[in-house]
Amino acid sequence: MDQTKSAPPPAGWPCGPGPISAADLLAAYGPEHLADAELLEVLLEEPSLVRAAGLLEACGGLGNLLGMGPADLVSLGLTSAEAARVGVMIEVQRRRTRVHRARVCAPGMAWAYLLPRTAGLTEERFGILCLNARGEVIADRILGMGTPLGLVVTPREVMREALRYGATTVLAWHNHPAGGAEPIREDIIPTKARASSLPWNRGSKSSAASWPPGNSP
């Protein structure tokens, strides 16, 4: 779908002079009727389809925009208020997915859960998923944000969050902003060291799992 061209107005839409605004379409028929640029236009302080389309072109599309942090959104050209609106929209959607607890019982399930949350990020992030005995996600926490080159997180932070939520299993993850599906040496060695330093994990094995080929965030 062209990110600047919405679907034709639904049957019965009242005809009148001038273009139909994105806000009118949204109010009457829901966001699914809007093109990507029109969705962004509704969030702008002064609605402008041309500006919205330019912002999407500059960042590489709506998917990349939704993976950007507040500072990146402002650098892109959004005002602080507009960046806040986009951030709230992202967080509302993220919290909506918690209504029904996701289950993570295998590496592929972890990938399916995490990929939408990490795609398009321009900086490295380290997080954990706290799981209960049924493999359900009871907490999804970001413990560190770094640069495109790396970040630092201590085992203490992981243990604190695991105890806070009473997790039976903790899955630690981080993304590669530059891409690449395989864990590198700098991933594997710290993973083993951090896992062995946790009091309940001494003597057990740990591993660094990769994203499925071609799907690294």
Domains of the chain, residue spans: 22-96, 107-201
Closest CA to 115 of 35, 210, 1, 194: 210
Q: Just give the CATH number of 107-201.
A: 3.40.140.10
**What amino acid occupies position 124?**
E
Query: What pLDDT does residue 187 have?
Result: 61
Share of the chain above pLDDT 90, in %: 17
Q: Which residue has better confidence, 25 or 204? A: 25
List, edge to edge, every strand of the sheet that includes 169-174.
137-145, 125-131, 169-174
The mean per-residue pLDDT over the stretch 28-40 comes to: 82
Please write the tens of the pLDDT for every residue from 61-76: 888 888 788 888 999 9
Query: What pLDDT does residue 181 have?
Result: 56
pLDDT at residue 54 greater than cutoff 90: yes
d(CA 15, CA 107): 52
Closest CA to 174 of 113, 117, 127: 127
Share of the chain above pLDDT 70, in %: 68
Please write the tens of the pLDDT for every residue from 110-146: 888 888 777 777 778 888 999 999 999 988 888 888 7
d(CA 46, CA 21): 12
Q: Which residue has better confidence, 52 or 17? A: 52
DSSP string, 188-202: HHHHHHHHHHSGGGT
**pTM above 0.75?**
no
The number of residues making up the chain comes to 217
